[in-house]
Structure 1
């Protein structure tokens, strides 16, 4: 709920520029990222068939520096779930013309263990 309120406040504060950013096209590796996110989620759940990824949640969240050299990698985030567990999945791609080269992946459960 807080996330939605924060997004609405940002749109109201910045006007049309924020609306254009929200309506941005899907990242170039979005379809590949969605498939890879589902594979990663199933891997972490020992192949549980209840694992799903929300296609509407797939979005670019910026870039990260490569570990070697001065290039940057694209980070694509997706939301997934297994039964009652919710997960944030981030996939890191090297931007290359005509291909999506997966360089890293991260999966975190959305829960409070304390």
Structure 2
């Protein structure tokens, strides 16, 4: 009985984790467009990949028991590729509460 309850709990947690992509994908893509525009100017000709990838959750540094959801979006400008991570706090009242973002150029130096 315990193992059945544990399996059900894991399945439910996985569905909530996966639900972040459906709920916040459009928000992440829009924020990616704004982030590239901030760094390179909004008049630049860049593109944002339609694919949004859900990464493993990370721990909140201020509250280690809380996990934060991470969505990855790629952007392209000229020959450059930019990986962006958008960090969301899971909240029932605000499903796409952005609390962090990072951008890095995908390049060999």
Q: Same fold (TM over 0.5)?
A: yes
TM (norm. structure 1) is 0.70
Alignment: residue pair count: 89
Let me know the Cα RMSD of the aligned residues.
1.8
Task: Indicate which of 23, 47, 50 corresponds to 2:45.
Answer: 50
Name the larger-Rg structure.
Answer: 2
Equivalent pair of 2:49/2:74 in contact (CA under 8 Å): yes
Equivalent pair of 2:20/2:69 in contact (CA under 8 Å): no
Q: Mind listing any 5+ residue stretches in structure 2 that lack a counterpart?
A: 1-17
d(CA) in 1 for partners of 2:103, 2:97: 18
Report how far residue 65 of structure 1 moved. Answer: 0.6
TM (norm. structure 2) is 0.73
Relative to its length, the structure with more strand (as a share) is: 2
Q: Mind listing any 5+ residue stretches in structure 1 that lack a counterpart?
A: 1-23
Equivalent pair of 2:72/2:86 in contact (CA under 8 Å): yes
Match of 2:108 in 1: 112
